[in-house]
Amino acid sequence: MEKRIVFFDLDGTLLNDDKGINDSTREAIAALKKEGHIVAIATGRAPFFFEHIRQELNIDTYVSYNGSYVVLEGEVVFTNPLDESSLQALTDLALQNEHAVVYMDHEDMRANVPDSERINESMGTLNVGMLPAHDPLYYKDRFIYQSLLFCAEGEEKAYEELLQAFDFVRWHPFSVDVVPAGGSKFKGIGKITEKLGIPLERQYAFGDALNDLQMLQGIPNSVAMGSGLQEAKDAAKWITTSNNEDGIAHGLKLAGLL
């Protein structure tokens, strides 16, 4: 079989609900590599949120921040930071609405408020063992690749109307990812596959959530997790079992890779 590349989302996909890796998933990843295929990650997470996963699975190619920070074999090949003036406008509106904001670069993160229950609750679900320190000016004079806006469902509409430079993608009842307009995991994946010369028909993707839709729609060989959102299932070619029920191994069999 010719070399394939397989992109895995993390939360709800490669990771089970305890944020761990099932034995069947670990074995499936090893089998893919043994066959000569490339295993990569495509996530909304910051790079420092999944370094331990990359080390555990020996993965050095990834799309992070929903396509805004892309690494191929350990080297950065594409970045797409947020517009600073628009980020200032976002911050001003968030302060007016008493909404917290977290600013994230490739190495660290900071919050515009010293403490927030919404930050603590939503980021706590990621089980990464860290919360942002307080620095309301962290976005000044540095590249910020993603922000997190902490607001209730529907409250992001006011930001969407004002800030055309950004897209807002909800990942938690209290939080949305703020990414460059038009950015996506699928576009980030393209930066990798173009350099590797791997055509679309030899690309595969696994996902479960709203930030996976363009990836699942754009890559014909796509797999949605059985535990994922209906929108993800509608976008994918195959639907596997849940992330807790050997969904990765089963999905790779559905796709003919194992």
Active site residues: 9
Dist CA 99 CA 116 (whole Å): 9
Residues 6+ apart with CB under 8 A from 52: none
User: What 3-state class would DSSP assign to 64?
Assistant: strand
Contact predicate 126/49, CB 8 Å: yes
Tell me which residue of 55, 30, 71, 47 sits closest to 191, measured CA to CA: 71
Number of residues written out for the chain: 258
C-alpha span between 103 and 133 (Å, rounded): 10
Q: Cβ contacts of residue 20 below 8 Å, gap of 6+?
A: none
186 closest CA partner among 146, 235, 225, 138: 235
Q: What is the DSSP letter of 82?
A: P
Pairing of strands 146-150, 100-104: antiparallel
Integer CA distances (angstroms), 250 to 25, 209, 225, 242, 256, in order: 9, 19, 10, 9, 10
